[in-house]
């Protein structure tokens, strides 16, 4: 009988051999041409009778039939289908045709044979008439069949070839994905094939309508992923990588593609430093590996970038996360924290496809924090005063309109409530166009995204981003065999974004914190002259937090431009050898304005001068890369070897920033940001005018790298990578780092002894990898003793005038001549498997990653008298496992898939190169006058929370008497009922408010992260849900300033201890400072585990009911982001990425929460 | 194959250049390009002086005042350091790292100047000597501060980063005295009248002579020595020091200003009744202050004088005294025992009761979270504010620092005080001359007393002690004096049950002096740890007595 494996498309085979599935993955070859020209070409090419219009010119001597057919395929869009055993393609022929049709050519080469052909649009089927027809049609009952072909998202698929298996009979689906065939034998099987999708066979039987959904091949093993400087079949990958498709990213409707990554990529932990629009994400792959820069390397279309804030998710084709050292090793010096490869959408050899995706949405804070209202607040203040032995407050003299508060008619100001923006609008519109021909392919798109913040009324934070990109590729020269000798292409993107916002910084400046701690008596009102009412005598150091937000922070505007692009040439001088040369640039420019008017809001919040700030900067980085890749085969041994070189530079003379600030803006009375230009405040005042301008740090990198992929029958796999990087950040002689890696794989299911297991275990690959990566991101010139000429060296000798300053200069660091790379070494063991006819997929990874020789500015003896430079001073270990499970199936027209991934990571500092083994976190983080609350210490996870442990509240005098050490001595003799029981952690028999009894009271690093997503489709309906779970992490929270007892409290405080049995957690209220609150203890730490439904989408494709629409898809949907968050955490958002150092997080001192957003959108594909 | 070779060749050509990785900083010089000129050394010297600027608790004057028997910690309810310090306990074993770091930075920078001075072409030997003299003075100044605050300290005299053990006191003070002698020798004997106002702030020969006397008195007093052994092995005797003091008094051109009160900033505020009534006129920075030999000079362009901000009353935004953090409240015992006939009493202490009638007070200790409130403040260091031309707005304060009008300081900041801090006054020099036993001792003491209208008293140590306490109150001298006289224990013992308000609640202050700590502060623990045991903690601090709030705030 007919074996479909023998029935090959040559074209398809060619793709696989090359590892470059041309039709599907054309995006790796791009060119530049005007869209107009391309459109014109394409319109021409898509004319209906292709075979008649296509003229071929081929001249070959002693060529095999296979070569001739391949040449035809290369020169045209034709492709051939034939059975290997029927057609002798190794027969040699001579061909010499000029401008002839394909029929003419085929007649020539098959003249005198029994082979005939049939042309169905671009598909040509060859049959040996001599062999007879495998399916004698005459004996079969004939019938007609029609139907529609769609993809898994429900979009109709034009151009799908529908062939009766084993015959030449076939059709192509029309623009609406419909096909119909007549005279088909009843027992025939239809084969539906489309490049890039999985071929499907359906036995017709008595059906007259056969609708087919073609699945992405990507779920299968032929999936190709990006591996850096190339792609590789997933089946053959030996490292730990994960790929997320652009379509999955887009569906989640996040502002930044990273926001969509968390629920999809096990081992990738994503937190936000703030939920304010446009805020950055903190991304750590497989745990924090350093106290330095721990963000991964972002590589967009082969070019390294600082981040991807300026990419619209709609322009992304796929994101590949390289998690283990072996995968990342090709990026050597910068890969220690993992690599995220982003491939933007590339052209396709197909008719133009125009898509529009857009939504409008409305955001809200889903859990606004409640603070005490005026009456609750009064009660708490009175109680605090009484407990502290103070006389009752004379409110009447301190609080205006006291009567209204005392009689309960005025509940006071709910500051956060007043600052909420209800239904803050957000929207995105993106238009993408893709297409191409055998000569050129292109993809281009435009998008606009805007988002308004949910906290900050009336100066709501806004973020607006417009992006444009064009990627194209032209085949410039083909040789006589039609091999593409020279291709030229480019990827170019431009983004413009604007951002303004409120202050979400530290405890002294955070506007959100001000909203949470301002007393409710303070009126939110203005005087008759339009100024805000200053702080009332009750709390003169307070300030109307909304006025403060508007006046001190609210008038700012930040504009950014970024251009990223590369142009490349690909030469294939001999078959299998690809030379590629790429030149890339990153250009960034920014313009910032700020205006701060005069204000008098309270004793601490006052300014008699208006200040205008203006700054600009422009930077350029370039890179030049050259690679040579050679694919060859020795019997069953497949080799794919890459060598390359690159050079990069940025900063120095390539870019600089300028900034200035001045007072007395001539438009000051307008109180407006619009006039915040330095031209409007020209008078120079040496003490108030500031000017600065400096180049960006100059960084250069030079690299050589090589990779060899080897496999034997796709059964035994080995990859070896070596990279050498030279970085200008280190002293001559220390500049070069060498990063090797090796990995191997064994596809058990390809072994003959496993064949019997195929029924349930379709695929099983064991992977083992080991490698080393580097991290070089430090401030340059640490190897020299640099001389600073800054304010810390200036002195004012002129006592009379005080208008001049003697500028000073001093060596500001001790040179660290030996400083070099930080190295991360990782071993990974895992497997990929597919069960039950590929419906179930299971991948597992275990890893152990040790980052050595962190580049840390480890504290030196202060008595050295100058600053520490970076040294190689610490080691940290991350160990963990990752599991990814997916199930995909369908029942009739009902399709569904479920993905579950779990990752757990354990982080432990192994060494810090100072005698105490600690890198201290900043002090004054939670409140003023608080010691460090997080630190990196040997034996503990990075950034763990450090403080006192408590064990409840003393309920009565007996409790205090009974709280004794082993000798029976009281541990807290001065305590009163209602005070906190602190734990004598070091067990020395006494509790001391010093460091001795402090220990780990929380860990912001999660123990387990989970992603769970679910999607289904039925007759044009689609429904999907994504969720993220983070477990075992804690957040340390405080919104109040110690020493300012009039500040308001969150309503949790109502659960305080008031008398025996009222609380065993929150102590009694105190007005004066008291160890209960002053000692940073686990009372401030909360379990912030959470499970969040990050996205829920329900859509319908109206194409189902509006079949004549000239569209492939017309889908409308509703979606909600952050639909529900299940957590015990009392703050507004448990996903707190804030911490003052890059390695710290989980500090909630007034966190701006991520909003819940409801969206209504459409996706249209033409 | 030819294609491959040629492409490889091109690649190597483009990126093979070996200097590709060479980069340079376009905004910072480095040790290969600095210092090359006289101007470079001048900048390096400015950077030495700039370490005189203190912020926060790394202010030795503030610390010395707070720990003295004349003042308390004060501050807000959460300013534990202040009242912990005042009670010789600690709430943070690293509290003084800021001070420690600043002083060693100053020393490092002075060492840097001295090490590089020969590598530069000089226009004249005199200019070179000036730089050597100033750098030596500054190194001595910083070493001395370390010496009386921390006692046992490492003494780096080169820029090499070395984990040095603590220097013996003889060695430390030998180095300080040697440096000061060097300064006296190298610096020119230009009288004060010959010094341009624009150069005030530089160390002079006279300042070096005065500081040397302070160092000599401290070392010989506290360590019970007769002389100081210099680094060259010779000894510096008391008579040599007296000789320099006599030289300073006779030849420096410095003189006492006629009205003591005119030295202090409040005398500038003519709306202040006390100033009007007494016809005061501030001699101010460069406006006729002939008395000050060395001071820390600020400007609106430099860091500000944080001492004033720390000293001001909490939430007070009035004239003549403005906003601050309420540190260093004055011990009412001092006020009570200071005779009223001494005009320095009201010239030095602000009694808040007087302020109600003489100036303006807006002070509610129960609300402003002030602790250890005695009602008396240190007038020499309070921030001086004035009403704007439009006059007072009593509904809400709108007073601003006098530094705004005088120097154009930025009134947007609470911390806008740029009045200079006096480090060494002629009155101190005179009293030291008297104490050391100059032949003119009686004259020197009389000059100080005559200026404030007080009669002559015999030049006994007892009288000199009393005189120093009043004349130099709140100038950071008292603690050193108590230590070198070995009077600390008895003086602190008198500070018992002094009534205060703690956040408005009546309480008391009792200072528990710990003689075992020898008045040296705790060496920042992180330095001890980092030194790998090379540094030893000061006596009395190795098992750290922790601050207990309830022990102090009663």
Q: Cβ contact (<8 Å) for B503 and A1071?
A: yes
- To probe the interface with B, which of A596, A598, A787, A866 has the most B CB atoms within 10 Å? A787
pLDDT at A27: 32
Q: DSSP per residue over A454-520, as a string? A: SB-TTS--EEEEEEEEEEEEEEEEE-TT--EEEEEEEEEEEEEEEEE-----STTT-HHHHHHHS-T
Give the per-residue pLDDT at A802: 55
- Per-residue model confidence as pLDDT tens digits over A385-404: 888 877 788 898 889 999 99
- Which residue of chain A has the CA closest to B284? A800
Cβ contacts (< 8 Å) between B83 and chain A: which residues? Answer: none
3-state secondary structure of A653: helix
- Among all chains, which residue has been given the structure tokens 């009392």? A1130
Q: Calculate the alpha carbon distances from A43 to A171, B94, B434 in Å.
A: 21, 76, 107
Percent of chain A past pLDDT 90, that is, above it, reads: 44
Q: CA distances (Å), A996 to each of A963, A985, B102, in order?
A: 19, 8, 28
Pick the residue with more confidence: A130 or A387?
A387
* A289-304 mean pLDDT: 87
Please, what is the angle between helix B461-471 and helix B441-451, to 10°? 40
Mean pLDDT of A43-67: 66
Report residue B529 as tokens.
Answer: 């740890």
Q: Residue A45: which pLDDT band, with cuts at 50, 70 and 90?
A: very low
Q: Which of A568, A566, A571, A567 is CA-nearest to residue A477? A: A571
- pLDDT tens digits along A664-719: 899 988 888 899 999 998 888 877 888 999 999 888 999 999 999 999 988 999 99
Chain A hits for B305, CB-CB cut-off 8 Å, are: none
Tell me how close the Cα of A390 comes to any Cα of chain B, in angstroms.
Answer: 6
Considering only the beta carbons, identify the residue of A537, A606, A915 that sits closest to B529: A915
Report the Cα A153 to chain-centroid distance in Å. Answer: 23
B31 CA to chain A: closest CA distance, Å?
5
Select the residue from B38, B43, B421 to test the A interface by mutation, using most A Cβ atoms within 10 A: B43
Question: A929 and B80 in contact by Cβ < 8 A?
Answer: yes
Q: In this model, does residue A137 exceed pLDDT 60?
A: no
Q: What is the pLDDT of residue B551?
A: 63
Lowest mean pLDDT among A221-225, A770-774, A877-881, B260-264: A221-225
Residue A2 has pLDDT above 80, yes or no: no
Q: Work out the number of other CB atoms within 10 angstroms of the CB of residue A273.
A: 19
The band of A253, judged by pLDDT with boundaries at 50, 70 and 90, is: confident
Distance from CA of B130 to the nearest CA of A (A): 15
Q: What pLDDT was estimated at residue B14?
A: 52
CA distances from A551 to A71, A556, A672 (A): 71, 10, 10
Q: Tell whether the model's pLDDT for residue A420 goes beyond 90.
A: yes
Percent of chain A with pLDDT over 70: 92
Is A806 in Cβ contact with B42 (below 8 Å)? yes
How close is the nearest chain B Cα to the Cα of A382, in Å?
13
Tell me how close the Cα of A686 comes to any Cα of chain B, in angstroms. Answer: 7
Residue A822 predicted with pLDDT over 60: yes
Give the span between the Cα atoms of B316 and A406, in whole angstroms.
29
Residues of A in contact with B386 (CB under 8 A): none
Prediction ipTM score? 0.90
Instruction: Please count the CA atoms within 13 angstroms of the CA of A592 that sit on its side-chain side.
Output: 17
Is-contact B515 B60, C-beta < 8 A? Answer: no
pLDDT at B504: 76
Residue A1120 confidence (pLDDT): 95
CB contact under 8 A, B505 and A389: yes
What's the pLDDT tens digit per position in A706-764? 999 999 988 999 999 999 999 998 888 888 999 999 999 999 988 888 878 777 888 99
Contact B199 A797 (CB under 8 A): yes
The minimal CB distance from B27 to the residues A628, A695, A800 is found for A695
**Taking CB atoms and an 8 Å limit, are B104 and A864 in contact across chains?**
yes
Out of A538, A794, A1045, whose CB is closest to B46?
A: A794
Flag if B367 and A398 touch (Cβ within 8 Å).
yes
Q: Which residues of A touch B411 (CB under 8 A)?
A: 608-609
Reply yes or no on whether the pLDDT at A217 is more than 60. Answer: no
Q: Cβ–Cβ of B198/A798 closer than 8 Å?
A: yes
Name the residue among B285, B397, B532 with its Cβ closest to that of A800.
B285
| Dihedral sign for Cα atoms in the order B278, B281, B282, B283 | negative
The pLDDT score that the predictor gives to residue A1031 is 95
Q: Which of A577, A793, A916 sits opposite B529 (nearest CB)?
A: A916
Q: With 90 as the cut, is the pLDDT of residue A264 above it?
A: no
The answer to whether the CB atoms of B297 and A974 lie below 8 A apart is: no
For residues A806 and B203, give the distance between their C-alpha atoms in angstroms, rounded to a whole number: 15
DSSP state letter for A156: B
Question: How many CA atoms lie within 13 Å of A628's alpha carbon, on the beta-carbon side?
Answer: 15
Cβ <8 Å between A811 and B159: yes
Work out the pLDDT band at A541, boundaries 50, 70, 90: confident
Whole-number Cα distances in Å, A1122 to A249, A253, A256, A424 = 15, 11, 15, 15
| Predicted local confidence at residue B138, as pLDDT | 98
pLDDT at A249: 87
Distance from CA of A609 to the nearest CA of B (A): 6
pLDDT of residue A745: 94
Q: pLDDT value at position A3?
A: 41
- What does pLDDT average to over chain A? 85
Picking from B34, B78, B366, the nearest residue to A1043 by CB comes out as B78
Question: Which residue's structure tokens are 């029929």?
Answer: A103
Chain B residues near residue A786 by CB distance under 8 angstroms: 25, 28-31
First to last CA, chain A: 41
In B150-285, which residue ranges form alpha helices assigned H by DSSP?
A: 169-186, 205-222, 238-251, 273-277
What's the pLDDT band for A4 if we cut at 50, 70, 90? very low
Q: Per the structure block, which two tokens stand in for B503? A: 């956040």
Instruction: Collect all residues of chain A within an 8 Å Cβ-Cβ radius of residue B147.
Output: none
Q: Provide the pLDDT for residue A841.
A: 92
Q: Is the pLDDT of residue A804 over 90?
A: no
Considering only residues A1086 and A158, tell me which one the structure prediction assigns the higher pLDDT: A1086
The single-letter DSSP state of residue A1136 is B
Task: Please report where in the chains the tokens 């002195």 appear, as a residue.
Answer: A795
The distance of Cα B147 from the centroid of its chain, to the nearest Å, equals 14
Q: How far apart are CA B358 and CA B335, in angstroms?
A: 18
Residue A351 has pLDDT above 80, yes or no: yes
At residue B18, the pLDDT reads 61
Q: Do A609 and B412 touch (CB under 8 A)?
A: yes
**Between chains, do A799 and B286 touch, taking CB under 8 Å as contact?**
yes
pLDDT at B262: 95
Interchain contact, A390 vs B3, CB within 8 Å = no
Ordered per-residue pLDDT tens for chain B, 554 residues: 555 555 555 555 555 556 788 888 888 888 778 899 999 999 999 999 999 998 777 888 998 999 999 999 988 877 777 888 888 887 778 888 999 999 999 999 999 999 999 989 999 999 999 999 999 999 999 999 999 999 999 999 999 888 999 999 999 999 999 999 999 999 999 999 998 888 888 999 999 999 999 999 999 999 999 999 999 999 999 999 999 999 999 999 999 999 999 999 999 998 899 999 999 999 987 778 999 999 999 888 888 888 888 988 887 778 888 888 889 999 999 999 999 999 999 999 999 888 888 877 766 665 667 889 999 999 999 999 888 776 665 545 567 888 888 887 766 556 678 888 999 999 999 999 999 999 999 999 999 999 999 999 999 999 999 999 999 999 999 999 999 999 999 999 999 999 998 877 788 899 988 888 867 889 998 888 888 889 999 988 876 555 566 666 66
């Amino acid at each position: 009988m007919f074996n479909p494996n023998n029935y090959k498309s040559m074209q398809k085979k060619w793709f696989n051999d090359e590892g470059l599935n041309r039709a599907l993955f054309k995006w790796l070859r791009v060119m530049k041409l005007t869209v107009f020209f391309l459109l014109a070409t394409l319109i021409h090419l898509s004319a209906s009778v292709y075979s008649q219009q296509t003229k071929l010119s081929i001249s070959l001597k002693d060529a095999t039939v296979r070569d001739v057919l391949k040449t035809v395929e290369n020169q045209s869009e034709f492709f051939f289908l034939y059975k290997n055993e029927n057609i002798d393609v190794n027969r040699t022929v001579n061909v010499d045709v000029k401008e002839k049709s394909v029929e003419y050519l085929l007649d020539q080469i098959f003249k005198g044979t029994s082979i005939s052909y049939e042309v169905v649009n671009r598909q040509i089927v060859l049959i040996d008439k001599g062999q007879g027809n495998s399916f004698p049609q005459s004996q079969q009952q004939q019938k007609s069949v029609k139907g529609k072909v769609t993809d898994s998202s429900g979009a109709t698929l034009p151009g799908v070839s529908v062939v009766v298996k084993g015959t030449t009979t076939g059709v192509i689906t029309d623009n609406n994905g419909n096909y119909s065939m007549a005279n088909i034998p009843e027992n025939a099987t239809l084969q539906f094939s489309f490049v890039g999708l999985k071929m499907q066979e359906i036995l017709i039987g008595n059906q007259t309508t056969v609708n087919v959904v073609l699945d992405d091949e990507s779920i299968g093993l032929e999936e190709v992923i990006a591996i850096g400087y190339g792609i590789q079949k997933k089946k053959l990958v030996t490292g730990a990588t994960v790929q997320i498709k652009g379509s999955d990213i887009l569906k989640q409707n996040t502002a930044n593609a990273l926001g969509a990554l968390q629920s999809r990529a096990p081992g990738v932990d994503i937190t936000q430093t703030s939920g304010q629009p446009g805020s950055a994400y903190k991304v750590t792959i497989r745990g924090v590996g350093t106290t330095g820069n721990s963000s991964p390397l972002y590589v967009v279309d082969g070019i390294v970038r600082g981040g991807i804030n300026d990419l619209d998710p709609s322009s992304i084709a796929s994101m590949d996360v390289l998690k283990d050292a072996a995968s990342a090793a090709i990026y050597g010096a910068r890969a220690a924290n993992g690599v995220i490869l982003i491939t933007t959408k590339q052209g396709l050899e197909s008719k133009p496809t125009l898509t529009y995706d857009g939504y409008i949405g409305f955001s809200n804070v889903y859990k606004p924090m409640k603070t005490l209202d005026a009456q609750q607040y009064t009660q708490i203040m009175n109680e605090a005063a009484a407990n502290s032995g103070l006389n009752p407050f004379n409110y009447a003299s301190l609080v205006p309109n006291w009567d209204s508060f005392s009689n309960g008619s005025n509940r006071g100001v709910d500051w956060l409530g007043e600052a909420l923006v209800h239904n803050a609008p957000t929207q995105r519109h993106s238009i993408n166009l893709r297409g191409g021909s055998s000569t050129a392919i292109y993809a281009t798109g435009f998008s606009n995204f805007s988002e308004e913040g949910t906290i900050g009324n009336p100066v709501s934070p806004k973020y607006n981003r417009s992006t444009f990109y064009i990627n194209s590729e032209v085949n410039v020269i083909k040789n006589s065999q039609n091999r593409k000798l020279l291709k030229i292409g480019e990827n170019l993107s431009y983004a413009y974004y604007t951002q303004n916002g409120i202050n979400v910084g530290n405890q002294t400046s955070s506007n959100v914190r001000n909203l949470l701690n301002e007393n409710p008596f303070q009126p939110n009102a203005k005087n008759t002259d339009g100024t805000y009412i200053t702080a009332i005598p009750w709390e003169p150091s307070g300030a109307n937090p909304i006025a403060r937000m508007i006046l001190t922070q609210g008038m700012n505007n930040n504009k950014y431009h970024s251009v990223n692009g590369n142009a490349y040439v690909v030469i294939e001088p001999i078959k299998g050898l690809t030379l590629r040369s790429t030149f890339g640039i990153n250009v960034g420019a920014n313009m910032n304005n700020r205006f701060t008017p005069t204000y008098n809001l309270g004793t601490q919040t006052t300014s008699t001068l208006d200040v205008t700030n203006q700054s600009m900067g422009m930077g350029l980085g370039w890179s030049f890369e050259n690679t040579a890749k050679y694919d060859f085969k020795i019997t069953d041994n497949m080799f794919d070897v890459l060598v390359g070189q690159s050079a990069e530079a940025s900063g120095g003379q390539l870019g600089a920033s300028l900034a200035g600030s001045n007072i007395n803006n001539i438009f000051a009375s307008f109180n407006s940001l619009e006039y915040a230009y330095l031209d409007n405040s020209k008078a120079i005042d040496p003490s108030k005018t500031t000017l600065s301008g400096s180049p960006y740090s100059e960084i250069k990198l030079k690299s050589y790298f090589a990779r060899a992929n080897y496999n034997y029958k796709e059964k035994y796999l080995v990859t070896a990578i070596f990279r050498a990087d030279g970085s200008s950040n280190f002293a001559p002689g220390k500049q070069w780092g060498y990063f090797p890696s090796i990995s191997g794989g064994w596809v058990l299911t390809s072994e003959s002894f496993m064949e019997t297991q195929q029924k349930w275990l379709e695929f099983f690959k064991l992977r083992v990898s080991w490698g080393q990566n580097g991290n070089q991101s430090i401030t340059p010139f640490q190897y020299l003793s640099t001389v600073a000429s800054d304010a810390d060296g200036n002195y004012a000798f002129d006592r009379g005038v005080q208008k001049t300053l003697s500028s000073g200069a001093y060596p500001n660091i001790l040179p660290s001549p030996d400083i070099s790379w930080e190295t991360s070494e990782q071993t990974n063991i895992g497997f990929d498997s597919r069960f039950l006819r590929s419906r179930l997929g299971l991948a597992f990874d275990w890893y152990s990653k040790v980052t050595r020789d962190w580049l840390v500015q480890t504290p030196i003896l202060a008595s050295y008298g100058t600053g520490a430079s970076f040294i190689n001073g610490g080691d940290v270990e991350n160990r963990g496992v990752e599991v990814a499970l997916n199930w995909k199936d369908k029942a009739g027209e009902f399709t569904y898939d479920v993905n579950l991934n779990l990752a757990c990571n354990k982080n432990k500092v192994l060494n810090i190169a100072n005698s105490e083994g600690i890198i201290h976190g900043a002090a004054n983080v939670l409140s003023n006058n608080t010691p460090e609350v997080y630190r990196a210490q040997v034996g503990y996870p990075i950034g763990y929370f450090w403080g006192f442990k408590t064990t409840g509240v003393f309920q009565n005098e007996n409790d205090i008497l009974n709280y004794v050490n082993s000798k029976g001595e009281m541990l807290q003799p001065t305590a009163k009922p209602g005070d906190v029981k602190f734990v004598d952690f070091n067990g020395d028999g006494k509790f001391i408010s010093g460091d001795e009894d402090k220990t780990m009271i929380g860990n912001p690093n999660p123990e387990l992260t989970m992603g769970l997503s679910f999607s289904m489709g039925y007759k044009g309906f689609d429904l999907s849900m994504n969720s993220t779970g983070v477990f075992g992490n804690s957040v340390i929270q405080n919104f109040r300033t110690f020493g300012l007892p009039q500040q308001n409290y969150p309503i949790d405080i109502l659960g305080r201890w008031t008398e025996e049995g009222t609380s065993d957690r929150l102590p009694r209220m105190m007005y004066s400072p008291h160890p209960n609150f002053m000692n940073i203890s686990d009372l401030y730490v909360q379990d912030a585990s959470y499970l969040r439904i990050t996205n829920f989408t329900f859509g319908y494709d109206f194409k189902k009911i509006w079949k004549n629409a000239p569209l492939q898809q017309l889908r409308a949907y509703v979606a909600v982001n952050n639909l529900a968050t299940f957590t015990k955490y009392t703050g507004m958002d448990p996903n707190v990425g804030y911490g003052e150092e890059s390695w710290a997080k989980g500090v909630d001192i007034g966190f701006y929460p991520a909003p819940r957003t409801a969206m209504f959108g459409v996706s249209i594909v033409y | 194959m030819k294609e491959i070779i040629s492409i490889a060749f091109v690649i190597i050509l483009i990126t093979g250049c070996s200097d590709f990785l060479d980069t340079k900083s376009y905004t910072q010089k480095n040790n290969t390009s600095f210092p090359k000129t006289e101007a470079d050394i001048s900048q390096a010297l400015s950077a030495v002086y700039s370490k005189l600027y203190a912020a926060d608790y790394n202010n030795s004057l503030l610390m010395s005042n707070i720990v003295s028997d004349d003042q308390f910690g004060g501050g807000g309810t959460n300013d534990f350091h202040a009242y912990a310090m005042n009670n010789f306990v600690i709430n943070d074993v690293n509290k003084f790292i800021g001070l420690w770091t600043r002083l060693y930075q100053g020393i490092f920078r002075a060492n840097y100047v001295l090490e590089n001075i020969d590598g530069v072409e000089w226009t004249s030997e005199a200019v070179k000597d000036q730089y050597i003299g100033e750098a030596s003075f500054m190194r001595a100044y910083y070493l001395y501060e370390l010496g009386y605050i921390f006692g046992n300290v490492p003494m780096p005299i080169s820029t090499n980063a070395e984990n040095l053990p603590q220097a013996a006191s003889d060695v430390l003070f030998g180095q300080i005295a040697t440096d000061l002698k060097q300064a006296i020798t190298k610096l020119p004997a230009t009288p004060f009248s010959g010094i341009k106002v624009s150069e005030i702030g530089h160390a002079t020969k006279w300042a070096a002579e005065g500081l040397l006397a302070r160092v000599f008195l401290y070392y010989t007093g506290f360590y019970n020595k007769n002389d100081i052994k210099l680094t060259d092995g010779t000894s510096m005797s008391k008579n040599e020091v007296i000789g320099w003091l006599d030289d300073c008094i006779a030849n420096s051109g410095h003189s006492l200003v006629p009205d003591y009160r005119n030295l202090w900033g409040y005398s500038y505020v003519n709306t202040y009744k006390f100033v009007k009534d007494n016809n005061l006129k501030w001699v101010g920075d460069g406006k006729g202050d002939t008395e000050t030999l060395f001071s820390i000079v600020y400007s609106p362009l430099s860091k500000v004088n944080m001492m004033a901000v720390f000293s001001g009353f909490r939430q007070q935004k009035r004239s003549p005294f403005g906003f601050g953090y309420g540190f260093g409240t004055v011990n009412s015992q001092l006020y009570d025992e200071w005779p009223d006939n001494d005009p320095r009493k009201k010239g030095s202490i602000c009694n808040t009761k007087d302020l109600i009638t003489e100036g303006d007070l807006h002070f509610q200790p129960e609300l402003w979270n002030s602790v250890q409130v005695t009602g008396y403040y240190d007038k020499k260091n309070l921030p001086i504010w004035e009403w704007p031309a439009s006059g007072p707005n009593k509904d809400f304060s709108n007073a601003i620092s006098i530094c705004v009008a005088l120097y154009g300081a930025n009134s947007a900041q609470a911390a806008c005080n740029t009045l200079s801090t006096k480090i060494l006054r002629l009155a101190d020099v005179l009293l030291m001359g008297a104490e050391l036993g100059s032949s003119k001792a009686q004259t020197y003491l009389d000059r100080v007393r005559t200026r404030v209208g007080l009669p002559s008293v015999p030049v006994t140590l007892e009288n000199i002690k009393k005189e120093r306490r009043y004349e130099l109150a709140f100038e950071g001298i008292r603690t050193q004096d108590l230590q070198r006289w070995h009077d600390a224990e008895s003086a602190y013992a008198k500070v018992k049950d002094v009534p205060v308000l703690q956040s408005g609640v009546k309480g008391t202050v009792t200072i528990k002096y710990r003689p075992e700590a020898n008045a040296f502060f705790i060496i920042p623990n992180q330095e001890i740890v980092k030194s790998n045991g090379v540094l030893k903690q000061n006596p009395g601090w190795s098992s750290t007595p922790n601050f207990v709030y309830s022990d102090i705030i009663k």
